[in-house]
Amino acid sequence: MKRSSDDLVKYLVSLGPGDKSDRFLFPIFVEFCLEEFPDKIRRFRKMVDSADMTQPHTWFPFARAMKRKIIYHCGPTNSGKTLLTGQEKKDFPFSNHVACTVEMVSTDELYDVAVIDEIQMMADSCRGYAWTRALLRLKADEIHLCGDPSVLNVVRRICSETGDELVEQHYERFKPLVVEAKTLLGDLNNVNREIVLLLSRGGKYLRIVFYSLSKYNGDKMVCVPASQVKQIAGRADVKKVGLFPFYEQVELFAGQLPDMKFSKLLENFSENCRLDGSYFLCQHMHIRKIANMLDKIQGLSLEDRFNFCLAPVNIRDPKAMYHLLRFASSYAQKLPVNIAMGMPKCAARNDSELLDLETRHQVLAMYLWLSNHFEEERFPFVHKAETMGTDIAGLLAESLLRANWKPESRGGLKPKTEKKEENGYHRPMAQIKLLEKCAV
């Protein structure tokens, strides 16, 4: 770099430290970098371009080529616009209808009519990208959106960009939402969950009491996202909706950093990606944590790691994480992925056994999800997983109906390092031991 002239030095001294001197020096610094590091800057520009997530409406030319009609059924809760669907996706030969969770919807098929429920979840900090993807990518002549009006302005902007016709249908509550005249007067002895749902025996009334507005997000305790609170008890306008990169975008970005681990790759992508004003990048801390654990498993392709990281798993559950890593390890070794999990012999008799049932059901749901995202022959026990899932759901229902045990104190429970089994139940081993066992 050429020496600064005496006049330049004097001028900088006169400016002193602060914004003025920073603004004066910045173009000089840029010129220096362009002269001294042209190759690095060229590579950095290419990397940033590969993480460009602006103008997402242009990503799907097949959907843009269609003249879609969007009907937004917006209104508060209890206004007659709710769509009821199942939790899993099941295909039947020659069927004319498909019902599935939004993450499972196929954007490759052509549909006459599609219905997306809870459209306000586009603003969810973690899962919002699934609703955004469905709205932008679904190839349907007519798409019905059901939800509250909080994302209506965003949907209007998106439809103006995509060229889709938007029709708005507004609804009012069947009954007004009012605040109770009396409080609980501090009596929270029987409240032991974040949200308490009280139903009358006739099922005609629903009352919701918020005990806490914070939750664990996989990394730390945070406030419950506004979109989730509004889904239950109130509504407000939303300015942005969620996005998350597709595998092809991650693959393009990885080409600029070929030797980087997948967990670090995701972190770099989030730091360098660019978004339009209507979108935000969904939180993916739990995905990065899974990616970090998968780094120890050899033989997985970049696409394999991406799909395993998106699997529905509770990262705070050591047993569920153990099974995910075991599934990934078997897949990496090109072995048939086995369920390797037995059935309890009776309904749960305490909190620990109830949690064990929930974990088993989650593991089976995860197995079915993976079977839909990988080669079918690598997950040959789909029918067994479906049967076990149905049986365990029955045990869960029976356990809740018969529950009369005293809740176990969270502070009094200590994690056990050995597996204790009785009637098909066992407590999970310590997480570190489970992960070490899987890595062997």
- In three-state form (DSSP H/G/I as H, E/B as E, the rest C), the secondary structure along 295-319 is CCCCCCCHHHHHHHHCCCCCCCCHH
The pLDDT value given to residue 180? 67
Distance from C-alpha of 54 to C-alpha of 275, rounded to nearest angstrom: 5
* Amino acid of residue 5: S
Q: What is the pLDDT along the chain (440 residues), one digit of tens a residue?
A: 445 577 777 787 887 888 888 888 888 888 888 888 888 777 777 777 888 889 999 999 999 999 999 999 987 765 555 554 444 556 677 778 888 888 878 888 899 999 999 999 998 888 899 999 999 999 999 999 998 888 899 999 999 999 999 999 988 877 776 766 776 666 656 555 444 544 444 443 345 566 677 876 666 778 877 656 655 554 445 788 999 998 999 998 888 888 889 999 989 898 888 998 889 998 888 898 999 999 989 999 999 999 999 998 999 899 999 999 999 999 999 999 999 888 888 888 888 888 999 999 999 999 999 998 898 899 999 999 999 999 999 999 888 888 776 655 544 445 444 445 555 655 545 544 555 555 54
Distance from C-alpha of 275 to C-alpha of 55, rounded to nearest angstrom: 8
Give the closest residue to 113 by CA, choosing from 83, 92, 86, 90. 83
Predicted TM-score (pTM) of this structure: 0.69
Give the closest residue to 147 by CA, choosing from 85, 237, 72, 233. 72
Q: Which domains does the chain have, with CATH numbers?
A: 1-31 (no CATH), 54-174+188-244 (3.40.50.300), 311-439 (1.20.58.1080)
Give the closest residue to 233 by CA, choosing from 254, 255, 210. 210
Q: What is the DSSP string of 310-363?
A: TS---TT-HHHHHHHHHHHHHHHTT----------SS---SHHHHHHHHHHHHH
β 425-426/421-422 pair status: antiparallel
Distance from C-alpha of 101 to C-alpha of 88, rounded to nearest angstrom: 7
Distance from C-alpha of 330 to C-alpha of 438, rounded to nearest angstrom: 10
Say if CB 366 and CB 311 are below 8 A apart.
yes
Distance from C-alpha of 323 to C-alpha of 48, rounded to nearest angstrom: 36
Q: Could you list the beta-strand ranges (E) of 225-295.
A: 241-243, 279-281
The pLDDT value given to residue 206? 41
Distance from C-alpha of 276 to C-alpha of 392, rounded to nearest angstrom: 45
Stated as kind and residue range, the H or E segment containing 419 is: none
Distance from C-alpha of 326 to C-alpha of 90, rounded to nearest angstrom: 25
